[in-house]
Amino acid sequence: MRRITKIISSSVASAILITITCSVSAQTDMDAIMMNKNQFCQGLTYDYSSWDHYWEGTFKRTNENLGTVTTQSVMYMPNYGITSNLNVMASVPYVWTNASEGVLHGMKGFQDLSLVVKWRPYKIALGKNQLSFFALGGFATPLSNYVIEFLPMSIGLGSTNLTARGMVDFRRDRFTVTASAAYIWRSNVKLDKDSYYDTQLHLTNEVEMPNATQYQLRTGYRGKYLIAEALLTKFVTLGGYDITKNNGQLYPNIKMNSTMVGANVKYTLKSFTNLSFDGGGNFTVAGRNVGQSKAFNVGAFYVLNLGKKAKP
């Protein structure tokens, strides 16, 4: 009956800069599944995201000097059930970027460490229906001093983020609907440059990062071994500026908005329920100052029950 929980991997990769999506909260769990008490899950995922169209403000274009921009990542994700209603999880991604055309050099490195506390304070059962409420708090901070002013080749935006998320999950038999909304506080960031122009010239290396919100609606089948869901994810930057026409110098405080649709499937082995695999894809259907990314991810997760081991 163990249930393997997975931290949403929906894309650290697509999270990257102008490929943003779920990125900022890529490591935040947006699903309604909890680890049981003393269960320790470890996962490894691979994300691949690419785009050849992008939005400069609202102007959609291609760029022969970039061709297709690809962001890939490998992420380690541990998750522990303190109780069946309180989980803590983390993720550590290694990210690398590439442009298929032009002369720009790709970047690589460890991106942001993410820590999430997931709490399910209420669960109400009414006949066949079950309603659960979740509160999540996330903290993310760069693991390395990666370059943030070489977008779109940079591997991240460099801010330290705090995320507060509320989530409601409705379940009837195997059918589920999960809705979540998150507010993301983003710290200021520092450039290598000591002045920069966004909509005005700033004589400092410090960039004020706009906060952001993220919404997700997911629905589908949640069985004992198989989970299959459709996802709608929206990321909205609260402030920031539009990229001006043909401006190749981008800073992390761009107004990056995106709407993505996607699907996610997870399968737990019947013969060996400690192990599960998952895969998914996301496609950006609307955006502003982001790449129109197509992203997919695959992952494997392994659960250990530390509680049993601890017993004499």
Partner 1 sequence: MKKNILIYLSIVAVGLVTTIVACKKSIEGRTENISFLAPSNVDANAGSWKLVLLSRPDSFSVAAPAATNSPGYIGELNEIKGLQQNLTSDQIDKIKYWNAGAVLRWNEIMRELVSRHNLPPYQNEDGTYPIPNSANPFNYPQFPFSNPPYAARAYAYVSTAQYDALVACWHYKTLYNRPAPYKTDSIINANAKYIAKTDLPSYPSEDAVLAGVTAEMMKLFFPTEISFVEQKAADEKASTLASGKNTRSDWTAGEALGRQIATVFLARGRTDNAGKAVGTPALWAQMEQDCAAKGEVPWISQESPKRPPMLPLFGKVKAFLFDSATLVNTIRPGAPPSTSSKQFKDETDEVLYYSEHVTRDRMKIIDFWADGVATPTPAGHWNDIAAMDFLTQNFSEVRWARNMALLNMAMMDAAIACWDAKYAYFNPRPSQIDPRIKTLTGLPNFPSYISGHSTFSSAAATILGHIIPSRQAAYDAMADEAKMSRLYGAIHYRSDIEVGEQVGKSVGAFAVQRAESDGAE
Tokens representing 132 are: 């659960």
Of the candidates 104, 113, 226, 261, which one interacts with partner 1 according to CB under 8 A?
Answer: 104
On whether the CB atoms of residues 240 and 253 are closer than 8 A, the answer is yes
- Per CB under 8 A, the segment of 40-48, 95-103, 270-278, 304-312 that binds partner 1 is 95-103
Of the candidates 124, 128, 200, 309, which one interacts with partner 1 according to CB under 8 A?
Answer: 200
Residue 160 makes contact with partner 1 by CB under 8 A: yes
Residue 197 makes contact with partner 1 by CB under 8 A: yes
Of the candidates 60, 76, 187, 224, which one interacts with partner 1 according to CB under 8 A?
Answer: 187
Tokens representing 242 are: 């539009």
Of the candidates 2, 106, 226, 232, which one interacts with partner 1 according to CB under 8 A?
Answer: 106
Q: What is the DSSP letter of 207?
A: E
Site string (107-126) toward partner 1, x via CB under 8 A: ----------x-x-------
Residues in Cβ contact with 312 at an 8 Å cutoff, skipping those fewer than 6 apart: none
Of the candidates 188, 219, 273, 274, which one interacts with partner 1 according to CB under 8 A?
Answer: 188
Measured between alpha carbons, how far is 6 from 1 in angstroms, rounded to an integer?
Answer: 16
On whether the CB atoms of residues 230 and 249 are closer than 8 A, the answer is no
Of the candidates 76, 173, 192, 223, which one interacts with partner 1 according to CB under 8 A?
Answer: 192
Instruction: Tell me the one-letter amino acid at 144.
Output: S
**Nearest distance, CB of residue 278 and partner 1, angstroms:** 27
**Nearest distance, CB of residue 203 and partner 1, angstroms:** 4
Measured between alpha carbons, how far is 112 from 114 in angstroms, rounded to an integer?
Answer: 6
Of residues 223 and 248, the one with the C-beta less far from partner 1: 248
On whether the CB atoms of residues 16 and 281 are closer than 8 A, the answer is no
Q: Torsions phi, psi of 251, nearest 5?
A: -115, 160
Binding to partner 1 (CB under 8 A) within 138-157 occurs at 139, 145, 147, 149-150
Binding to partner 1 (CB under 8 A) within 64-83 occurs at 64-65, 82-83
Of the candidates 60, 76, 100, 102, which one interacts with partner 1 according to CB under 8 A?
Answer: 102
Q: What is the DSSP letter of 59?
A: E
- Per CB under 8 A, the segment of 47-55, 71-79, 200-208, 212-220 that binds partner 1 is 200-208
The secondary element (H helix, E strand) that includes residue 109 is: strand 108-110
Residue 100 makes contact with partner 1 by CB under 8 A: no
Residue (of 138, 93, 125) closest to 112 by Cα position: 93
Question: Residue 120, SS3?
Answer: strand
Q: In sequence order, what are the beta bridge partners of 286?
A: 259
Residues in Cβ contact with 145 at an 8 Å cutoff, skipping those fewer than 6 apart: none
**What does the binding site for partner 1 look like in residue numbers (CB under 8 A)?**
64-65, 82-83, 86, 101-106, 117, 119, 137, 139, 145, 147, 149-150, 160-162, 185, 187-188, 191-197, 200-204, 206-208, 244-249
